[in-house]
Chain A
Amino acid sequence: MSAPGTRRRRALSLGAVIVGLFAVPLGLRAVNRAVRSPDAAPSYIPSIESPRVRGPFDSGAVSALREAANDYILIGDSMAGTRIDPGHLSRLIGGHGAAALFHPGSGAAYWYLTFKNFVVNAGLRPKAVVFFFRDENLTDTLFRVYPSALDRVARQREPVLDELLAARAQGPFYRLHGAVRRVYQHDQTRAWLEPIVVRAPVALSAGRRARTRLLESMNNEVFTLEALRPMVAADMAAASGEALDFDRNLSTSVLPEILRLSKVSGIRVAFVRVQRRPSADGPPPQSPALQKYVRTLWGYLQANGAIFHDDWGDPDQPLSAYEDGDHLKKEFRRTYTEIFFRKNPEIFR
């Protein structure tokens, strides 16, 4: 047995380490004040982000869209990117053709901002805008909210999206995350420190001339989508539980806002649910919860004047057409584009 004095000292030392653990990171606030960039500004989604230096809005893309004045605009992620050949679709459609605004690794928040800022608010009036999605992606607002990508399509203020994100991020995990962020402001430190860490090895890796473009060249020439090996299990996580409760998630999703903008602008919108990877015996299995979700989504879209098309169970999209995960093979892209055109007369009327 140790003496009471020793026990007290040990208890105090434990307390000191626990206090140090939580108190020392408060120094990040002081560090941030000392090195804060003058360009840092409040984020357009302040409910989940602290002030930072944002990337530019892609006004060049908007100008190009205005100039092309396409009849159809397609929005989606790599699922759409590996399915649609925009050039081939434009030839099938004729007229002013179609523009593809596909961004790999994007989600509903990105698609909503693209529709709002690149199409509706830019004054474009295509015949229809088509959204491609998988299963419950449309009503999952927090799916793939990557600020560095959103910067391209977001304006200085995006109050509707911010409100939706705040309403969605309500669980204990998000509350704790938000509280920690407010206390330590570590995301502000990350905003300036991470680029330094990522860029530091560049000087050791390339000659002076190649340095400025090394990261860009790596992404555009080495780690391209075409250079990846097929992985059957890529990006295959399926939703379950609360994510498939349509009624619960609708009010905090971007879907009602997309439909509202569609009505206000008079632009028809269509939603295509792409088929996930089929099994060897037939279409991909669907849980009863997912089937119910899709039925409810379909009913909701039709009631709001939108077009819905479901690729699920299409015999023209067999397993042999798939590359990795839910992506289609490159050589099947033209075939899918024709299937999409042929099976959606309502969109292309």
Chain B
Amino acid sequence: MIFHSLDFAVFFVLLTAAYWALPRRGQNVLLLAGSYVFYGWVHPWFLVLIAATTAVDYGAALGMALRPARRRAFLWLALAVNLGLLGFFKYFNFFADNVAAVLAMAGWQVPKPALNVVLPVGISFYTFQALSYVIDVYWQRTPARRSLLDVAAFIAFFPNLLAGPIMRATTLLPQIERERRFSASAARDATLLLAWGFFKKLVIADNVGVIANKVFALQSPEFFVLWAGVFAFGIQIYADFSAYADIARGVARWLGIDLVKNFEHPYLAKGPTEFWRRWNISLSTWFRDYVFLPVAYRISDRMSSDRRVLFDAATWAYAGGMIITMLTAGFWHGASWNFVIWGAYHGVLLSLARIVGSWRKRRRRVRPWLAPLQVAGMFVLTNLGWLFFRETELTQLVRHLGLSPFQSSVLGRQTGAYLFFLAALYSLPLWVQSLWAEFGGRDFVAAMTCNEERPVLWAVAVQALLAGLLFAAILVLHSTTSLDFIYFRF
């Protein structure tokens, strides 16, 4: 089921009404049943996968608690099943194609075994959410749960099931376990969050998405046309992905559950490290905690701390850990080489940022007036990354990188400028919100959704007006081309 459908609207209204009429245990039964209806709406066989993941992770965590001596074996079992399912459904064809290509280069022509099944949507997200539970139980950050119902509801929690934010067991499970009461303030704030999320998706993301799709459908776009398309894609992916997160947070808040914020105005980042603190926060912190830190510690353990080859051991550990982490993160996004390149690119950027940062600390402080230039520079670097992310054909990617602005025709320049300004116009509310948050001190959507204990009349009036204006804008300016949420593909 997708959020912007009549099916979902009916489902959500009925589920929410029934949910608040039930006691806690009944709520969790309904939450699980509703989540399974939501997930199995188009392809009921997806439920077999999520149920299998749940059973294994629940059993493994419980096994760790009951047989502490075999904790490591249970962890490996859970990792093998979770990553095995993810790898099989998401990467089988990719590996089969590449193995066949390598064998063909060696002169062996073997038929490619193709897996002709639909990639289970959301598998990358709920697998990571489920893994966080098992790993945190292994690290003894959270206890193993005895209630299969609560663990199943945690893994399948429908608002964030398909595209995040990826919730940790330490954050979401306690909320599922505790008594929940309906809060009109939370529902009011959630309504505004929903309106803002749908506006970002249907007005901004889908309209600029059409521009990006048109440009990337061209065989040989000129320099300015291509980069206008990349800019449009950069806006689209942010508006689209953050819209999903806002809608997920709004839906969850109506059910009395708080999901973490997944974006913090990432295009105002002054450098790569800050960008990843603002972009897809739940995924980047997941990779930080479960991939980067273990890898970086391991590299650090193997290096002598007083040995220095160009940089100190800590910098090498950071760079090594970061490149491995970002390669993994790139590959997580999709079974395609362009995602691996995108991950490697960000790994190198982050490593360079660390090196430059440590060098700068020793020299002098950066002047504050340089901040706008840093933001602009990071935005350009981010967009270069989006080119790697969006262009799936490597030959086209090489061609794009070789384009020169000096070989553009007049019409090419004008078309590029037009598409750029059109994308900028559609994304204006997004920029206003980000700049307001950065310079005005508070994000106006966050400020409006602050769950005030005693609502102030003017604040409520502004909220009501804003919600209505967003709905009016959706009615009038929604794109006639309805695009899927981008992150459904991952």
User: Could you tell me which A residues sit within 8 Å of B by CB distance?
Assistant: 2, 6-7, 9-11, 13-14, 16-25, 27-28, 172-173, 176, 180, 184, 186, 189-190, 193-194, 197-198, 200-202, 204-206, 210, 214-215, 217-218, 221-223, 227-229, 231
Nearest B residue to A204 via CB reads B421
Among candidates A16, A17, A23, A223, residue contacting B218 with C-beta atoms closer than 8 Å: A223
Cβ A223 vs Cβ B476 within 8 A: no
How far, in Å, is A178 (CB) from chain B's closest CB? Answer: 13
Cβ B225 vs Cβ A222 within 8 A: yes
CA distance A222 to B411 in the complex (A): 8
Q: Give the 7 A-B CB pairs with smallest separation, nearest first.
A: A24-B468, A20-B464, A201-B421, A186-B475, A25-B472, A205-B417, A10-B184
Cβ B460 vs Cβ A17 within 8 A: yes
How far, in Å, is B327 (CB) from chain A's closest CB? Answer: 28
Within 8 A of A (CB), among B413-459: 414-415, 417-418, 420-422, 424-426, 453-455
Cβ B414 vs Cβ A210 within 8 A: yes
Cβ A17 vs Cβ B453 within 8 A: no
Cβ B425 vs Cβ A200 within 8 A: yes
Cβ A197 vs Cβ B425 within 8 A: yes
Is B143 on the interface with A (CB-CB < 8 A)? no
Given contacts A6-B454, A13-B185, A13-B455, contact A193 B477 (CB under 8 A): yes
Given contacts A10-B183, A19-B464, A176-B6, contact A186 B476 (CB under 8 A): yes
How far, in Å, is B467 (CB) from chain A's closest CB? Answer: 4
Cβ B467 vs Cβ A21 within 8 A: yes
Cβ A13 vs Cβ B184 within 8 A: yes
Cβ B476 vs Cβ A193 within 8 A: yes
Given contacts A16-B460, A231-B217, contact A205 B418 (CB under 8 A): yes
Cβ B471 vs Cβ A180 within 8 A: no
Among candidates B192, B411, B420, B422, residue contacting A198 with C-beta atoms closer than 8 Å: B422
Cβ A206 vs Cβ B185 within 8 A: no
How far, in Å, is B28 (CB) from chain A's closest CB? Answer: 23
19 residue pairs from A and B, CB less than 8 Å apart: A6-B453, A14-B188, A17-B188, A17-B191, A19-B464, A20-B464, A20-B466, A25-B468, A173-B6, A184-B472, A201-B418, A201-B422, A204-B421, A210-B414, A214-B418, A222-B411, A222-B412, A222-B415, A227-B220
Given contacts A9-B455, A10-B184, contact A17 B464 (CB under 8 A): yes
Cβ B467 vs Cβ A17 within 8 A: yes
Cβ A16 vs Cβ B411 within 8 A: no
- List 17 other contacts, CB 8 Å, given A19-B464, A205-B421, A206-B414: A17-B460, A17-B464, A21-B467, A24-B467, A24-B468, A24-B472, A27-B468, A28-B472, A172-B6, A186-B476, A193-B476, A200-B421, A201-B420, A205-B415, A218-B411, A222-B218, A227-B218
How far, in Å, is A42 (CB) from chain B's closest CB? Answer: 20
CA distance A176 to B185 in the complex (A): 29
Among candidates A6, A9, A206, residue contacting B417 with C-beta atoms closer than 8 Å: A206
How far, in Å, is A146 (CB) from chain B's closest CB? Answer: 8
Cβ B225 vs Cβ A27 within 8 A: no
Cβ A228 vs Cβ B467 within 8 A: no
How far, in Å, is A315 (CB) from chain B's closest CB? Answer: 24
Q: Which residues of A contact B219 (CB under 8 A)?
A: 227-229
Is B169 on the interface with A (CB-CB < 8 A)? no
Cβ B463 vs Cβ A206 within 8 A: no
CA distance A215 to B411 in the complex (A): 10
Given contacts A204-B417, A218-B415, contact A24 B465 (CB under 8 A): yes
CA distance A30 to B460 in the complex (A): 24
How far, in Å, is B290 (CB) from chain A's closest CB? Answer: 34
Q: Which residues of A contact B123 (CB under 8 A)?
A: none
CA distance A201 to B415 in the complex (A): 10
CA distance A176 to B220 in the complex (A): 43
How far, in Å, is B434 (CB) from chain A's closest CB? Answer: 21
Among candidates B396, B464, B475, B477, residue contacting A16 with C-beta atoms closer than 8 Å: B464
User: Could you tell me which B residues sit within 8 Å of A by CB distance?
Assistant: 6, 183-185, 187-188, 191-192, 195, 214, 217-220, 225, 396, 410-412, 414-415, 417-418, 420-422, 424-426, 453-455, 460-461, 463-469, 471-472, 475-477
Q: Which residues of A contact B396 (CB under 8 A)?
A: 229
CA distance A218 to B477 in the complex (A): 22
Most B C-beta atoms less than 10 A away, residue of A23, A28, A201, A202: A201
Q: Which residues of A contact B421 (CB under 8 A)?
A: 200-201, 204-205
Cβ A23 vs Cβ B468 within 8 A: yes
Q: Which residues of B contact A176 (CB under 8 A)?
A: 6
CA distance A19 to B191 in the complex (A): 11
Cβ B185 vs Cβ A27 within 8 A: no
CA distance A190 to B6 in the complex (A): 22
Nearest A residue to B222 via CB reads A222
Most A C-beta atoms less than 10 A away, residue of B183, B185, B219, B466: B185
Cβ A25 vs Cβ B471 within 8 A: yes
How far, in Å, is B20 (CB) from chain A's closest CB? Answer: 13
Nearest B residue to A24 via CB reads B468
How far, in Å, is B11 (CB) from chain A's closest CB? Answer: 13
Cβ A24 vs Cβ B184 within 8 A: no
Cβ A24 vs Cβ B471 within 8 A: yes
Cβ B464 vs Cβ A21 within 8 A: yes
Cβ A17 vs Cβ B192 within 8 A: yes
CA distance A210 to B414 in the complex (A): 9
Most B C-beta atoms less than 10 A away, residue of A18, A25, A222: A222
Q: Which residues of A contact B218 (CB under 8 A)?
A: 222-223, 227-229
Cβ B453 vs Cβ A2 within 8 A: yes
Q: Which residues of A contact B464 (CB under 8 A)?
A: 16-17, 19-21, 24
Among candidates A9, A20, A23, A193, residue contacting B463 with C-beta atoms closer than 8 Å: A20
Q: Which residues of A contact B191 (CB under 8 A)?
A: 14, 17-18, 21
Nearest A residue to B412 via CB reads A222
CA distance A215 to B477 in the complex (A): 19
How far, in Å, is A203 (CB) from chain B's closest CB? Answer: 9
Cβ A184 vs Cβ B184 within 8 A: no
Q: Which residues of B contact A7 (CB under 8 A)?
A: 184
Cβ B184 vs Cβ A11 within 8 A: yes
CA distance A105 to B411 in the complex (A): 25
Q: Which residues of B contact A6 (CB under 8 A)?
A: 453-454
How far, in Å, is A230 (CB) from chain B's closest CB? Answer: 8
Q: Which residues of B contact A25 (CB under 8 A)?
A: 468, 471-472, 475
Given contacts A16-B464, A17-B463, contact A28 B475 (CB under 8 A): yes
Nearest B residue to A3 via CB reads B454
Most B C-beta atoms less than 10 A away, residue of A9, A21, A23: A21
Most A C-beta atoms less than 10 A away, residue of B192, B218, B418, B420: B418
How far, in Å, is B462 (CB) from chain A's closest CB? Answer: 9
Q: Which residues of B contact A13 (CB under 8 A)?
A: 184-185, 188, 455, 460, 463
Cβ A229 vs Cβ B414 within 8 A: no
Cβ A24 vs Cβ B453 within 8 A: no
CA distance A16 to B187 in the complex (A): 12
How far, in Å, is A226 (CB) from chain B's closest CB? Answer: 9
Given contacts A23-B468, A222-B225, contact A205 B414 (CB under 8 A): yes
Given contacts A10-B188, A11-B184, A205-B417, contact A21 B471 (CB under 8 A): yes
Cβ B214 vs Cβ A22 within 8 A: no
CA distance A189 to B477 in the complex (A): 9
Among candidates B185, B225, B454, B468, residue contacting A22 with C-beta atoms closer than 8 Å: B468
Nearest B residue to A185 via CB reads B475
CA distance A204 to B219 in the complex (A): 26
